[in-house]
Structure 1
Amino acid sequence: MAMGEHSAVALHYVIDGPADGPPLVLLGSLGSALDMWEPQLPALTEQWRVIRVDHRGHGGSPVPPGPYTVAELAGDVLALLNRLELNRVNFAGLSLGGMVGMYLGSETPERIDRLTLMATSAGWPDPTPWQARIEAVSNGGTEAIAPAVVKNWFTPDYAAAQPDRVAWAEDSVRKTPDLGYLGCCQAIRDWDHTNRLGAITAPTLAIWGTADPATPEEPHGATIAAGIPGVRFERVDGAHLLNIERADEVNTLLTSHLGG
């Protein structure tokens, strides 16, 4: 099933938790792989069938030629749900994963039960920074941008206290194939879903980091809070990868939203 110009790719995924548990798809940020969700597993796998997924061009997923669109990334996820014979799932996405979640929530509402959006955006008023990042990766690969990108992922205090986590994060960006990273950057640059937020019918939780320089609440969180009917908006004291920096709080919010 293609939702963009190109056909879907067979995404890499890992399933944890009870086989008969309600399915929960976790989809992460640009430059990450499915191991970014490990802090969520202890809290979620007792009750939910947790399906962690790598975007196309990331982790263990194929790297088709770009550019990509968010519609195509969402088509990949739908193709995976069809392969797994899952008609309806809970979905939690952070950053790029949240964009895919918004697309699925508005365009295929019958497939999404409960939706969680973290540190994400419905579109960039000014896409210039994305064009600059595309040029940086085109010239120097993901290696050239890894330290600058990861500066946005954690607060300075957390980064200072957790150097191993910072090293893991930089390695995650570096290991992302240049073509996959570029294709997803192009998808983000061209993404504007603001006028479709009102079509999201799933009960939605939005979690925002108060110190997130990548997708700050103004304008990104505020746009989503204003646009999705009945959204529950929560803040945690963290930066972009708040599921890691504030894992306990995020896990509590998630399990509460999902009915745990």
Structure 2
Amino acid sequence: MSARITLASGVTLNTQIDGPDGAPWLILSNSLGADQSMWDEQIAFLSASYKVLRYDTRGHGQSDVPNGPYTFDDLVGDVIGLMDALSIETAHFMGLSMGGMTGLGLALRHPDRITKVVCADGRADAPAPFVGMWDQRMAAVKEGGLEAIADGTLGSWLTEDWRAANPARTKSVRDMVTATNVDGYVACCKALQKLDYLKSLGDVKIPVLFVGGSEDVGASPETMGAMAAATPGGRYVEIANAAHVANINAPEAFNDAIKGFLGV
């Protein structure tokens, strides 16, 4: 079931729900430059056990593009607002990259509503080189739209051999990137530049699984391993031969990595 849902804040988010009535809820959150379709390879697997709620993050897909810049308080608040609008008391949460970072914010601030988090291919802080990289990315997008960074994005998201072997899916991912609203993309980049959860990971009270591709540069195995070590009970699982968007690059291995944690 697809629906556009207006939150109490006034922001309208595009959503998709799959899975049986009465099943526990699992919320999926997309990366920067993507939309809810990035989870297509997981839906059949997850909806056998969960009522799965996907949504386009504000500024992405068919969701509203409020005036920016955005903050992670905004992105976290959108999830809680969506839960309130759908009368969801508690849910598990899985996000990738920006979505995974949103999950960390939920774990820290709303452990009464979020029961488990899978943080995939994310990080928890914004050191100076990271901030500078987003300045360059925003400048390129403002000048040339998402087309200006599409090929570079694919190069970091998906390994070269996978792209060569999967041209149709690679094209669909590229189309998803280039369809992203420029203002929404830039507003979310501003949130990423203010990312500051690393110092608080020791306060997390709910189970968190960190999952990442072995070939991921932006959220490297070393970075994610350190995040897991800083999180009470945290665990990191590395996906071999996968880059930044591991759930698309290696879907079977990704699904295997999360199934025990989520009980599917």
Q: TM-score range by the shorter chain?
A: over 0.9
In the alignment, does 2:199 pair up with 1:195?
yes
Alignment gaps of 5+ in structure 1: 1-6
The CA deviation string for residues 61-101 of structure 1, in whole angstroms up to 9 with x for no partner, is: 10011110111011111100000111110000100000100
The aligned counterpart of 2:228 is 225
Q: What is residue 153 of structure 2 aligned with on the other side?
A: 149
Equivalence for 1:164: 168
Q: Which moved more, 1:136-145 or 1:173-182?
A: 136-145
TM-score (norm 1): 0.94
Contact 1:10 1:79 in 2 (8 A): no
1:215 deviates by: 1.5
Separation in 1, partners of 2:216, 2:169: 17
Aligned to 2:183: 179
Runs (4+) of structure 1 moved beyond 4 Å?
A: none
Instruction: State the partner residue of 1:236.
Output: 239
Shift of 1:214: 2.5
- What runs of 5+ residues in structure 2 fail to find an aligned partner? 1-8
Q: 1:120 aligns with which of 104, 119, 122?
A: 122
Cα distance in 2 for partners of 1:88, 1:253 equals 23
Q: Distance in 2 between matches of 1:11 and 1:92?
A: 17
Contact 1:109–1:201, Cα closer than 8 Å, also in 2: yes
* Contact 2:29–2:36 under 8 Å retained in 1: yes
Letter in 2 for 1:240: H
TM-score (norm. length: structure 2) = 0.93
Identical counterparts, % of pairs: 38
Q: Describe the shift of the 1:46–1:226 C-alpha distance in structure 2 as closer, same or farther (beyond 3 A).
A: same
Distance of 1:171 and 1:13 partners within structure 2? 19
Superposition deviation, residue 8 in structure 1: 5.9
**Alpha-carbon distance between aligned partners in 2 of 1:151 and 1:165, rounded to the nearest angstrom:** 14
Whether the 8 Å CA contact 1:10–1:80 is kept in 2: the answer is: no
Secondary structure at the counterpart of residue 11 of structure 1:
strand
Question: Which amino acid in 1 is paired with 2:177?
Answer: V
Aligned counterparts, 1:1-260, within 5 A:
7=9, 9-126=11-128, 127-218=131-222, 220-237=223-240, 238-260=242-264
CA distance in 1, matches of 2:103, 2:165: 32
- Cα-to-partner distance string for 1:94-139 (whole Å, 9 max, x where unaligned): 0000010000100111111111110001012221101111111121
* 3-state secondary structure, aligned to 2:157: coil
